[in-house]
Chains A and B, each alone.
Chain A
Amino acid sequence: MLIDTMEAVLVKNGLITAFVFVGILVWISYEISARLTRGHIHGSAIAIALGLVLAYIGGSMTGGSQGLADFSVLAGVGIMGGAMFRDFAIVATAFGAELEALRKAGVVGAVSVIIGVVLSFVVGAIVAVAFGYTDPVAISTIGAGAATYIVGPVTGTALGADSGVIALSVAAGLTKSVLVMIGTPFVAPKIGLNSPHAALIYGGLMGTTSGVAGGLAATDPKLVPYGAMTATFYTGVGCLLAPSVLFLAVRALY
């Protein structure tokens, strides 16, 4: 009776349950960071990595596509980590951002979005060709997926790709966003990701909003608004370029 009642309470108050769950997860992560790594690996980086591991476990246990949020008790994690709250918190980080830094890096930030989309598309397309794809529609869809997991399906749908190829493009985009979340704090010192200027470029080149959000949170939260600002333009630009100019370029080559 106790367990049933408790489960009912947790399910009924899903978002509140998520606050407790994420609070405990973050606390454990900061303890691991302080005790096991002596603060070398930032607590938020560990929390994000733990979240991804739990999402993998959740996916294997439930067979769903929402990670941990497919457990009914943890459905609130899906709301808390959904696009609505994510975007709300990202916008909030802009409070206190320096307008001057944005103005100075505005042009190079815009350029980096276009370079980022084209670069990821070309790399994804080359990988598709290397794996034996010869159909321009499939090559373009996979290339678009290497941009973000939204650009992939939008492009695939526009070009009439089959659902297997679209699923692959989503997987390429997911791999990218997971890797950006985990990898950014490790490569940040090597690539000079330590100023608003570099963060604007980073957001524009990476483009995955969730990857950039997680990657910068684990690197230096002060850089979040700059990276997030350019990243939010990436998917739109990708959806514009991939099914049009970039697809035509692929078709001209094949």
Chain B
Amino acid sequence: MVIYGVALLAFCMLTGIFLGDILGQLIGVQANVGGVGIAMLLLIILSNLTHHKFSIGSATENGVHFWSAMYIPIVVAMAAKQDVLAAVSSGWMAIIAGVAAVAVSFAMIPLLDRIHIGEDDVD
């Protein structure tokens, strides 16, 4: 049943966001700490578990795949509701701060990508 997949996905998201909120309160910040990340881990673990016990039906999988496929259109809608005007018209300092942060972060990726901590391969 398609609804099983959608319900599983929704359950993972709510649980993850709940745990993220609790984690945020425990460390004393007014933000959700990793809620979506926890939800993703939960979905990966639960979908792997059910593979062993009873195979997850293809209709159930479709309930998750549909939302996964809706990801790009949702991101397009997200882009269309950003406050681009505020970002562009706020003056040079904010724009330079944002651009510089992105440029430096991009430059760090190749450096960190060379680090493979906790992997067994020896070269």
Contact = CB atoms under 8 A, between A and B. Distances in A.
A10 interface: no
B67 A89 contact: yes
Contacts of B80: 22, 25, 51-52, 54-55, 58, 67-69, 74, 77, 81
Nearest to B67: A92
Interface in A210-236: 210, 213-214, 217, 221, 224-225, 228-230, 232-233, 235-236
Nearest to B92: A131
Given A87-B17, A94-B43, A178-B82, A18 B102 contact: no
Contacts of B98: 146, 171-176, 178-179
Given A127-B97, A236-B20, A91 B43 contact: yes
Given A67-B82, A214-B79, A175 B108 contact: no
A140 interface: no
Contact of B113 (A59, A106, A119, A201): A201
B83 A59 contact: yes
Interface stretch (A33-41, A192-200, A246-254): A192-200
A214 B37 contact: no
B40 A228 contact: yes
Q: Size range of the interface on A?
A: 35 or more
A224 to B, nearest CB: 7
A59 B35 CA distance: 30
Contacts of B24: 236, 239
A115 interface: yes
Q: Describe B's contact surface by its main secondary structure.
A: helix
Nearest to A66: B81
Interface residues of B, number: 79
Contact of B76 (A25, A92, A116): A25
Interface of B: 9-10, 12-13, 16-17, 20, 23-24, 27-37, 39-41, 43-45, 47-48, 61, 64-68, 70-88, 90-91, 93-102, 104-110, 112-113, 115-119
Q: Which 8 A-B pairs have the closest CB atoms?
A: A175-B98, A236-B33, A59-B85, A81-B77, A51-B79, A171-B90, A81-B78, A94-B40
